């Protein structure tokens, strides 16, 4: 039986967001960010975090600083590094989203695939070692590779370029409003996985 997440027949390549799409990392990401901010006297509200998961860690912190009028004593880059350290301590607990894993396994070797994430390359690569994804992707594009993160289309456009596929022949799997907007801005077909991942 064909999965409801199966790409259309005209797809020449598949692009996958990482957090919340390929992996069930929402809670771990929130806990890591909250732990990084707490020593600075900043309380991160989970509902606020959950509505901004398409942003990179740095972009999320910048937005929080702007919205709350914060004056933090250390650079954003240091907060992100602390967040990543907290996350990686629990990376071995991160699990796949089975419905999305099924798509990856079904189309591995049939269509070229890439990870296209606003996350950190180091965090993704280290987490991926614990999961059945390590040999499945021809490219991994992260926020470090582009000037603008989602909802700008840059991450998806670069991933398509690295696969050698025209953007309008790519299908994107996403779980955030920012990611969906980025895929649409790139002229790609996008599949919202949220109804299949429990979000």
In this structure, what CATH number is given to the domain that contains residue 158? 3.40.50.1000
- Check whether residue 139 and residue 108 sit in a common domain: yes
Q: Answer yes or no: is 174 within a domain.
A: yes
Query: What pLDDT shows up at residue 3?
Result: 85
Choosing from 9, 10, 17, 84, the catalytic residue is 17
- Check whether residue 68 and residue 101 sit in a common domain: no
Q: Answer yes or no: is 3 within a domain.
A: no
Alpha-carbon gap, residue 167 to 189, rounded angstroms: 9
Domain encompassing residue 118 = 13-25+94-197
Final residue in a domain of this structure, among 91, 106, 138 = 91
- Check whether residue 82 and residue 102 sit in a common domain: no
In this structure, what CATH number is given to the domain that contains residue 87? 1.10.150
Q: Answer yes or no: is 68 within a domain.
A: yes
Beta bridge partners of 15: 114, 172
Q: Answer yes or no: is 2 within a domain.
A: no
Active site residue 12: no
* Averages of pLDDT over each 10 residues, the chain, 199 residues: 85 97 94 96 94 90 93 94 95 94 96 96 93 94 95 97 98 96 98 87
pTM, two decimals, is 0.89
Decide if 156 contacts 34 (C-beta within 8 A): no
- Check whether residue 124 and residue 36 sit in a common domain: no
Query: What pLDDT shows up at residue 53?
Result: 86
Residues in CB range of 19: below 8 A, 6 or more apart = 25, 26, 29, 53, 117, 118, 119, 175
- Check whether residue 189 and residue 111 sit in a common domain: yes
- Check whether residue 50 and residue 142 sit in a common domain: no
- Check whether residue 104 and residue 187 sit in a common domain: yes
- If one counts the domains in the chain, the total is 2
- Check whether residue 43 and residue 84 sit in a common domain: yes
């Amino acid at each position: 039986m064909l999965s409801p997440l199966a790409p259309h027949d005209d797809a020449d390549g598949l692009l996958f967001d990482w957090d919340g799409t390929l992996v069930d990392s929402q809670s771990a990401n929130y806990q890591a960010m909250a732990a990084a901010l707490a020593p600075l006297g900043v309380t991160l509200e989970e509902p606020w975090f959950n509505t901004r998961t398409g942003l990179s860690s740095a972009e999320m912190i910048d937005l929080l600083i702007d919205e709350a009028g914060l004056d933090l004593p250390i650079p954003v880059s240091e907060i992100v590094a602390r967040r990543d350290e907290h996350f990686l301590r629990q990376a071995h607990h991160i699990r796949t989203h089975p419905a999305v894993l099924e798509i990856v396994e079904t189309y591995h070797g049939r269509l070229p695939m890439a990870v296209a994430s606003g996350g950190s390359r180091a965090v993704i690569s280290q987490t991926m070692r614990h999961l059945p994804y390590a040999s499945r992707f021809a490219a991994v594009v992260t926020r470090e590779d582009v000037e603008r993160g989602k909802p700008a289309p840059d991450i998806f456009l670069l991933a398509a370029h690295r696969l050698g596929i025209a953007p309008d022949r790519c299908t994107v799997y996403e779980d955030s409003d920012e990611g969906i907007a980025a895929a649409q801005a790139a002229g790609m077909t996008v599949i919202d996985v949220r109804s299949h991942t429990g979000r």
